[in-house]
Amino acid sequence: MNDPLPRIDAPLTPDGLEAVLREVGRRRYHDRHPFHRRLHGGGCTRAEVQAWALNRYLYQAAIPRKDATILARMEDPALRRAWRQRIIDHDGEAEGEGGIARWLHLTDALGLNRALVVSGRAALPATHFAVEAYVQFCATRPLLDAIASSLTELFSPRVIGERVSGMLAHYDFVDDRALAYFTARPPQAERDVIFALDHVRRHATTVETQRAVVEALIFKTGVLWAQLDALWHGYVTGQLPPGAWTPDDEGVWT
Amino acid sequence: MNDPLPRIDAPLTPDGLEAVLREVGRRRYHDRHPFHRRLHGGGCTRAEVQAWALNRYLYQAAIPRKDATILARMEDPALRRAWRQRIIDHDGEAEGEGGIARWLHLTDALGLNRALVVSGRAALPATHFAVEAYVQFCATRPLLDAIASSLTELFSPRVIGERVSGMLAHYDFVDDRALAYFTARPPQAERDVIFALDHVRRHATTVETQRAVVEALIFKTGVLWAQLDALWHGYVTGQLPPGAWTPDDEGVWT
């Protein structure tokens, strides 16, 4: 590992643990990825923004399934009451509402065929693999690790703020409605992450569980990073897998 | 899709189905990937061969788990008797035997720390995601699709032949013992794929099942391709994810 984190050899205080978790974000969160910098700095072509939005849709669409696998293993009604709000936020109260629907405002604005975006068939295989790895992680690992893997949201409000302002400034094909997801999301993410961080601080009190929650967060940063790696490799350098969708495909891009 | 396969609108004959499956291989099998050509053509650095071998180990090590999920859903003892041989081939009859052990001869010869290779910690996140996606696919999809996903072996004897001769010719750090996997594997793969192809030809007789087995094989080619994409992006272009292992890491490369 070219940048090892401090090894946990004795139980950390809650503040000490939080400091390590924040260090994971500082080193590994995908705001450091070249694709992110290119995207929010206005350096992406329209096709690259389209590819990003339709691949990232897969991740957005999987989040409620991920949260449902977590909810399904929570024994405590109070914990479930808090966690279920995440599913409500993403799926909305009715058709056309919620985070997933707002993401489709973005893909609509980018001229992407909605049925194709929703089908997932235009997304790269590597996107599918990373997203489903996250769902599986949360379905099969200890509940505390699954909760800890959501802590990338500690770092997302800054990114979302940068992304909205960067995109509005640089891309004339992006307007406020297209970016509704990014304006609605930060207060939800902040509420969610305060809850999850408090839970992790209170329950990860041994060396083993502290190591595990740090590993869970590292795993999650890998899920996000790998998605941008695949976009860069495919759409920036142009080394697309055989059969991958391209901006010229009929029916994909309108 | 920039290279669509023929759409199946009426049931194909077994030969017609086999032709479509072989066309999937011709278009999408990873012998067409630049990393494969670089590897067997002798263009890889030692570090790139090391990275390939330690990442590919993850795939090799997962195959018996994949085959066990398939075996676990086979109702027919005759089918199970045929399929279980795959697990025996990979795991061997005793410690130090079998395909996985032979793969470790290669990583040994490349100077890689065996404990680290086996731990999987030096492999890229994208490798883990692709490999586990394959295991999950075989655990959750219809049995016929899971069997069809193994049909990439239709195309592997040629690749393995090329790889062995290419590597022996070009890399002085590779010897016969290091390549034992590749000399033992082709007759096993040929026996396995004759069985699996016959099964798919006999059981995929409707439009729906024929489409599904073609999709399964496409999925699998994506699993293999994505692994080489990640190697290329990380180790050829040098855009490694934060925390990824490098040839300079202490304890990884001896």
3-class state of residue A125 by DSSP: helix
B129 chain-A contacts, CB cut-off 8 A: 126, 129-130, 132-133, 223, 226
| pLDDT given for residue A173 in this prediction | 81
- Distance of alpha carbon A25 from alpha carbon A28, whole angstroms: 5
Burial (Cβ within 10 Å: 0-12, 13-18, ≥19) of residue B55? buried
Q: Do A222 and B246 touch (CB under 8 A)?
A: no
The nearest alpha carbon in chain B to A250 belongs to B1
pLDDT at A161: 78
First to last CA, chain B: 44
Q: Is residue B248 part of a domain?
A: no
pLDDT of residue A250: 47
In A50-73, which positions are buried (b, 16+ CB within 10 angstroms) versus exposed (e)?
bbbbbbbbbbbbbbbbbbbbbeee
pLDDT of res. B249: 66
Asked whether residue A190 is domain-assigned, the answer is: yes
DSSP state of B74: -
Nearest to B126 among A219, A226, A240 (CB): A226
**Does residue B43 form part of some domain?**
yes
Residue A22 covered by a domain: yes
Q: Return d(Cα B150, Cα A37) in angstroms, integer.
A: 39
Which residues have C-beta within 8 Å of that of residue A102, sequence separation ≥ 6? A180, A181, A184
Task: Tell me which residue in A32, A229, A243 faces B233 most closely, judged by beta carbons.
Answer: A229
Instruction: Determine, yes or no, domain membership for A101.
Output: yes
Which CATH number belongs to the domain containing residue A103 in this structure?
1.20.910.10
Domain assignment present for residue A227? The answer is yes
Q: How far apart are CA A131 and CA B51, in angstroms?
A: 24
Residue B82, domain extent? 14-236
Burial of B125 (0-12, 13-18, 19+ CB in 10 A): buried
Contact B243 A28 (CB under 8 A): yes
pLDDT tens digit string along B43-88? 999 999 999 999 999 999 999 999 999 999 999 999 999 999 999 9
B250 occurs within a structural domain? no
Quick check: is B254 in a domain?
no
Of B222, B237, B244, the CB nearest to A241: B222
CB A196 within 8 A of CB A151: yes
**pLDDT for res B3:** 60
Per the structure, the count of domains in chain A is 1
- The Cβ of residue B12 has, within 10 Å, a number of other Cβ atoms equal to 19
Locate tokens 């399934």: which residue? Answer: A65
pLDDT, one tens digit for every residue, chain B (254 residues): 556 778 999 999 999 999 999 999 999 999 999 999 999 888 999 999 999 999 999 999 999 999 999 999 999 999 999 999 999 999 999 999 999 999 999 999 999 999 999 999 999 999 999 999 999 999 999 999 999 999 999 998 777 777 787 877 888 888 888 889 988 998 999 999 999 999 999 999 999 999 999 999 999 999 999 999 999 999 999 999 999 988 776 444 44
In this prediction, the residues of chain A whose per-residue pLDDT falls under 50 are 250-254
Orientation of helix A46-71 relative to helix A77-91, angle to 10°? 150
